[in-house]
Amino acid sequence: MVTVFGVKSEDELPGLASIRDVVELRLAPTEEDLARVIGDTDILMSWADARRLRWVHWAGAGVDAALFPELRDSDVLLTNARGIFDRPMAEYVLGLVLCFAKGFPRTIRSQSRRHWDFRLTEYINGGTALVVGVGNIGREIATLLSAAGMRLIGVGRSARAGDPLFGDIHGLGELDRLLARADYVINITPSTPDTRGLFSTDRFAGMKPSARFINVGRGDAVDQDALVDALRNKLIAGAALDVFAEEPLPETSPLWEMDNVIVSPHVSGDIADSHAALVAQFIENLHRFTRGEPLRNVVDKNKGY
């Protein structure tokens, strides 16, 4: 039996009904509904504790919320939606870079006041983007920024040479010396022990005063108090944040009111037709599962990605 957690109707996930002739399908809109059916579930499109569970599909790229200790230590396969969000997130990041370079937030604020606010803007062509996290999403971000004329620096879990996109990829241990070279520092790391608190007071102090920081990875990669201080003290010029340690971002956060900050509600990967793509990806893997073939997008539960 396949259980889909968090939806009330098959209409919410286009294409899902097509697997009814392959498996028994059950929807569990709430946690109470899930608790009633989880004991008979073989495949769960979400996560929970279950004795018979063999495979969990997480309909997102980051799986940190799914990796509770019992799942991590079990033989249950975990797959994610890797590949669905690459292009939307890359376009979102390109949009944020353009927002800063062309001063769009200031333009919109001036328009709301009917204020003719002429000023000069910036090129992104020739600028340097430091992409921290060089998986599929980071690479798609780099591809679009490169097409716009930006120079790229890539930082990954470990160093390696000869990458066709970045040239040399640098390890996390080299981050401190690279920060001062970047006009835009873009974080797209997953939540792991190595990345939690990665961007700290010292790291913000190591950036150019003209640099902008963009986070579309995980909120816990950033010391948020340190970021606020860096913005207030003009250690960096601005920040665009789509993810936060606490979501929704509390109304009391000073980030809401800072003119040099763009706050968005964890939407960088979400597009209008993403549900259909997510279902199609799951169905493809389901057919592989029923045929005994290796699944795609299997997550290394120890690494967290």
Could you give the residue numbers annotated as active site? 218, 247, 266
Chain Cα centroid distance, residue 201 = 22
- d(Cα 265, Cα 217) in Å, to the nearest integer? 13
**Residue-by-residue DSSP string for 127-157:** -EEEEE--SHHHHHHHHHHHHTT-EEEEEES
- d(Cα 299, Cα 82) in Å, to the nearest integer? 10
Q: E-strand spans in the chain?
A: 2-5, 25-28, 43-45, 55-58, 77-80, 128-132, 151-156, 160-163, 167-171, 184-187, 212-215, 238-241, 261-263
What's the length of the chain?
A: 305
3-class DSSP assignment, residue 162:
strand
- d(Cα 255, Cα 97) in Å, to the nearest integer? 18
CA torsion angle 41 77 80 280 (round to 10): -60
Tally Cβ neighbours within 10 Å of residue 28: 23
